[in-house]
Structure 1
Amino acid sequence: MRPISPADLASFLAIARHKSFRRAADELGCTPSALSHALRGIEERLDLRLVNRTTRSVALTEAGERLFSRVAPAFRDIGDALDDLNNFRGQPMGTLRFNASRGAAQLILLPAVIRFMALQPGVKVEIIVDGALVDMVAEGCDAGVRFGETIAQDMVAVPIGGRQRTAIVASPAFFERHAKPVTPEQLKDLPCVPFRFASGRQYAWEFERDGVELNIEVDGPLILNDQELSIQAALDGVGLAFAFEDQVADLIAAGKLVRVLEDWCPYYGGFYLYYPSRRRAPAPLRAFVDFLREGGDGAS
């Protein structure tokens, strides 16, 4: 019987991380059918089923979970050992994988990454946009970008992009049909574009002025889980949308959107780059963190 090779285990680990043959195949540069064949060979040699597969889902069996929990740390250690060789080069090399929400990726991460890559041509960057809070390590990412209050305490967190402020906007045509709200409570009587998180929870719009904090449960004919779509819905006159100031500044300046309740819109502490504290950061990530600390994110 042919022994199970490190390449076989790498195939299994990719499937286990992504819970998807297609995404795992994309990572490894092969076809889903080739990956399925490789997994079948591993299972036959072990005489154990590692993955339960249907046309709609991929899930690890108990044996698969046990193998993943034992093998994944070993492969990370191998990766760290190889990454140590970067110390012998003048510049870091390798792939840096980020997980970020759409707003964080658009407003903060992508502009910073583009500036970073111009300085570090040996580093390839992949950004995975995901609205859900995921297990970053299990997904094979080196770091993530989220608001500070959502980050676990066992992570190293580095500020990126400076403070962020929210904005409530709608189209000029919308305000031809509806009066402009002057207090957050009046939003309850106006069509809005509610935002739903990947968890299923609907976001209560947050306001603050002179020490008074309000959370308003808004309603409207269209609920979305993507801020860019919410802004587009506001442009189309569907209702009032909640966005980040930087996302809509140009649209406001061009007269395509009208801002209201500006004196009630608070500043947030901003986004943070975060990564596990329990393992050594790879050289490309260390270089990116140094780049941020030197002001490379453009934050004032």
Structure 2
Amino acid sequence: MKQNFTVRHGALDGVETFLAVAKHRSFRRAAAALGVTPSAVSQAVRALEARLGAALLARTTRSVGLTEAGQRFLERAAPAFDELVAAGEAARNLGRRPTGLLRLSVPRAVVPLILEPVIASFCQAYPEIELEIAASDEMVDLAAGGFDAGIRLGQFIAPDMVAVRLTPPFRLVVVGSPDYLGRRRPPERLDDLRGHACLRMRRSNGSIAPWSFVDDDKAVEAIVSGPLIAHDYPTLLGAAIRGMGLAQVPGPLTETPIADGRLQALLTRYAVTTPGVFLYHPGKRQVLPKLRAFIEHVRYQGVEAPRPSA
């Protein structure tokens, strides 16, 4: 079915020309200001009057004035046209230089690992950009949510997205606290996980994620059980540190608690390597300068430091 448009096609034709004539009270001076011929100005105004069904200008051989209809049209059209010009300039600014609101959807675990080290320096480097970070582990529709880009583990990014690497590949590491491992024998094989309290992650689609491993170059998924189901890795990591059970989390999250003795790495020979963390966006059209500036800043400000966990 054909759509009925509120503003008809061509409804704005001639408006700028009329406003120029109304301002200068002269077809010739309006033509000079617009860079066209007086004849072109006259034709545009006549076409506008014909479309509106009312005379807007009263013409004599010596002067040009406004009719009552012209005065009313001027009072409404002039501020509206100024807003259109301002809107166009604002859009052009977004396309010319880094400015405007930059909205990112990111997992909670990414904020301390990747974003916190660069947020302050980015905002200082680009004061015309407002950075909004929506920390959520739900997979969101970027367009529907009004986001410019998202950040996720590479395996969770749809293939039709443009992905920009932010970290090297890293392992998913099984960890447990000394307190927990003092009560339970550390697992040495994948089958040993059946006797352990395993902390699990619920995916955004509602399913509980199995634990992923590699055994003799073959991918293995282990269905585990335990006392806690969380929706994000930081919660699982914190529960493991408190001795609630074992957790499988991204290697970069475990580096500090393993180094200071709060956690121990387990089943390392079965650890699977993930693609790493990526920024992703639709990318079907030209990337706006604000997003391009963020990508360049994050990639080249030392954020790629996290290395695969041992």
Shift in CA distance, 99/136, structure 1 to aligned 2, threshold 3 Å: same
Alignment check: 8 A CA contact 2:171 2:271 kept? yes
- 2:228 is the counterpart of 1:222: yes
Shift in CA distance, 249/179, structure 1 to aligned 2, threshold 3 Å: same
C-alpha separation between the residues in 2 aligned to 1:166 and 1:286?
Answer: 30
Distance apart, 1:79 and its partner CA = 7.9
- 2:93 is the counterpart of 1:85: yes
Q: Residues 10-69 of structure 1: CA distance to partner in whole angstroms, max 9, x if unpaired?
A: xxxxxxxxxxxxxxxxxxxxxxxxxxxxxxxxxxxxxxxxxxxxxxxxxxxxxxxxxxxx
Alignment check: 8 A CA contact 2:96 2:289 kept? no
- 2:129 is the counterpart of 1:123: yes
Residue 263 of structure 1 aligns to a residue whose secondary structure is: helix
**Structure 1 unaligned spans of 5+:** 5-77
The residue aligned with 1:204 is: 210
C-alpha separation between the residues in 1 aligned to 2:117 and 2:240?
Answer: 25
Residue 138 of structure 1 aligns to a residue whose secondary structure is: helix
Equivalent position to 2:253, from 232, 247, 256 = 247
Alignment check: 8 A CA contact 1:116 1:296 kept? no
Distance apart, 1:232 and its partner CA = 1.6
1:85 alignment partner AA: N
Distance apart, 1:275 and its partner CA = 1.0
The residue aligned with 1:275 is: 281
The residue aligned with 2:165 is: 159
Which runs of structure 2 are paired with 1:97-116 in the superposition (5 Å)?
97-116=103-122
Distance apart, 1:289 and its partner CA = 2.5
Over alpha carbons, which structure has the higher Rg? Answer: 2
C-alpha separation between the residues in 1 aligned to 2:89 and 2:139?
Answer: 29
Residue 208 of structure 1 aligns to a residue whose secondary structure is: strand
Shift in CA distance, 179/228, structure 1 to aligned 2, threshold 3 Å: same
Alignment check: 8 A CA contact 2:155 2:274 kept? no
State percent identity of aligned pairs. 32
- 2:247 is the counterpart of 1:264: no
Alignment check: 8 A CA contact 2:118 2:301 kept? no
The residue aligned with 1:191 is: 197
C-alpha separation between the residues in 1 aligned to 2:130 and 2:161?
Answer: 23
Q: Which runs of 4+ in 1 moved over 6 A?
A: 78-81
Q: Residues 170-226 of structure 1: CA distance to partner in whole angstroms, max 9, x if unpaired?
A: 111111111110112211221111111122110111112441321111101222212
Alignment check: 8 A CA contact 2:197 2:225 kept? yes
Shift in CA distance, 259/137, structure 1 to aligned 2, threshold 3 Å: same
- 2:156 is the counterpart of 1:150: yes
Distance apart, 1:164 and its partner CA = 2.2
The residue aligned with 2:139 is: 133
Residue 202 of structure 1 aligns to a residue whose secondary structure is: coil
Alignment check: 8 A CA contact 1:207 1:265 kept? yes
The residue aligned with 1:44 is: none
C-alpha separation between the residues in 2 aligned to 1:80 and 1:155?
Answer: 28
1:262 alignment partner AA: T
1:298 alignment partner AA: E
TM-score, length of structure 1 as denominator length: 0.67
1:82 alignment partner AA: A
1:244 alignment partner AA: P
The residue aligned with 2:295 is: 289
Q: Residues 227-274 of structure 1: CA distance to partner in whole angstroms, max 9, x if unpaired?
A: 212112112211101112221211111111121112221221111111
Shift in CA distance, 213/142, structure 1 to aligned 2, threshold 3 Å: same
C-alpha separation between the residues in 2 aligned to 1:81 and 1:160?
Answer: 33
Which deviates the most, 289-298 or 267-276?
Answer: 289-298
The residue aligned with 1:12 is: none
Distance apart, 1:123 and its partner CA = 1.9
Shift in CA distance, 258/149, structure 1 to aligned 2, threshold 3 Å: closer
TM-score, length of structure 2 as denominator length: 0.65
1:175 alignment partner AA: L
